[in-house]
Amino acid sequence: MIKNPEDLKNKRITIMGLGLNQGGLGVARFLAKAGAKILVTDLKTEEGLGPSLKKLKGFDIKYILGRHREEDFINTDMVIQNPAVPHNSKYLKIARKHKIPIKTDLDLFFQLCPSKNIIAVAGTKGKSTVSQLIYHIFKEAQKDTILAG
């Protein structure tokens, strides 16, 4: 289990699905800064991922784009699954077969976060409104509160 960012140094981590909507960008940046050896694999091509790739310029990240390769899910210490990747993906099944841990960016966050008092809001509509409401309720109750997202 990963308990602090130093545990990630030199770990081989495959990020499955970079995406265009911030999906894998945050976790890729975080892992790169922690010193992990990152491989990003995505079915989209370099052209299709242009905006995301520009945001990761300067980080030491290897890319396999336009396809996935089985070996990238075997020769790794961990797979980070983008939320858009189906759980029954052939490549995730390969990782499971080889006992490679599969995590999401949120799994990693919760492992590394020192506070266990976290409220997360997910969904397709209304996240900002609900988050603001929760924040103000806790602030009014004079609780130490941080709103992030």
- What is the CATH T-level fold of the domain 5-112, as seen in this structure? Rossmann fold (3.40.50)
pTM, two decimals, is 0.83
SS3 at position 28? helix
Predicted confidence band of residue 22 (pLDDT cuts 50, 70, 90): low
**Whether the Cβ atoms of residue 21 and residue 124 lie closer than 8 Å to each other:** no
pLDDT in tens, 105-144: 988 988 888 777 888 888 888 889 999 999 999 999 998 8
User: Alpha-carbon distance 51 to 46, whole Å?
Assistant: 9
CA angle 65, 59, 121 (to 5 degrees): 80
Q: Compute how many other C-beta atoms are within 10 angstroms of the C-beta atom of residue 49.
A: 21
Task: Give the strand pairing for 12-16 and 78-81.
Answer: parallel
Domain ranges of the chain: 5-112, 119-149
User: Alpha-carbon distance 74 to 129, whole Å?
Assistant: 41
pLDDT in tens, 30-42: 999 999 999 999 9
